[in-house]
Each structure stands twice: as C-alpha cells, then as structure tokens.
C-alpha cells in the first residue's frame, strides 16, 4: 500500500488512476469526468498538464470534479485552461466548485471554464 494525501490508496486500484504524486491524485470516472484530489501548483503543474492532455484527447472526457481539490495556484489554473484548446476548443466544465475557487474564477473571467 502507498500513502496518498493522508489516506491509504491500494496499489491494486490503479485502473482509473491518471496521475499520482505527493500532492495530487487524478482519477477518471465511469461518466468520463476527471476527479482532482489534492493540490496543483508550480511544482506539479507541468506534469499534471501532460497527464490531462493525454486524458483529454480520449473521447467522452468533458468535465472535471474539483470538489476535493484543496489548493490551486494561477500556474495550475493555466494548466487546466490550456485544455480548452483541445480537442474541439470547448470550455472546461468544472463540477463541485468550492466557493473560493468560484470567486477566483469569477475574478479571472477566463472563458476557458464553465462552472456547473
């Protein structure tokens, strides 16, 4: 077993694992969404962007569940915003957005995101 974000994560439960580091776990869901758990910042933003670009190229990937995203800086938001250019240039749909992230996105007013 490995310890991730303060909880136990089975080493055998890698079927829907997209990305894993000390700060963030990224999983795909049966409905085609991507779930972000942990923190995104300058230290892992590029690696996360690479993993997301590979996942976003798959058909049916359309939304991100950010309910368990504890922290994201501007670099991390930029990494997510770049996905709106792939593959069809549509905005990224964010589900379960915390009030703090909703406020930040409102201040930035990026057309790359829609909140649902």
Class for the domain spanning 2-115: alpha beta
Instruction: Report the b/e string of 27-46 with b at 16+ CB within 10 A.
Output: bbeeeebbbbbbbbbeebbe
pLDDT in tens, the chain (116 residues): 344 444 444 444 677 999 999 999 999 888 878 999 999 999 999 999 899 888 776 666 678 999 999 999 999 999 888 887 765 567 888 999 999 999 999 999 888 888 98
CA 87 to chain centre: 16
Question: Looking at residue 58, what is its pLDDT?
Answer: 67
Please provide the size of the chain in residues.
116
The dihedral sign for the CA sequence 71, 57, 16, 47: negative
Q: Are strands 17-20 and 7-9 parallel, antiparallel or unpaired?
A: unpaired
The pLDDT of residue 3 is 47
């Amino acid at each position: 077993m490995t310890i991730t974000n303060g909880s136990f994560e089975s080493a055998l439960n890698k079927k829907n694992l997209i990305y894993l580091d000390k700060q963030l776990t990224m999983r795909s869901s049966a409905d085609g969404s991507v779930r972000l758990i942990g923190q995104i910042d300058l230290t892992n933003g590029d690696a996360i962007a690479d993993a997301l670009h590979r996942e976003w190229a798959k058909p049916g990937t359309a939304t991100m569940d950010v309910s368990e995203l504890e922290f994201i800086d501007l670099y991390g938001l930029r990494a997510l915003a770049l996905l709106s250019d792939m593959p069809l240039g549509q905005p990224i749909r964010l589900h379960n957005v915390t009030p703090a992230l909703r406020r930040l996105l409102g201040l930035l007013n990026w057309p790359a995101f829609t909140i649902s």
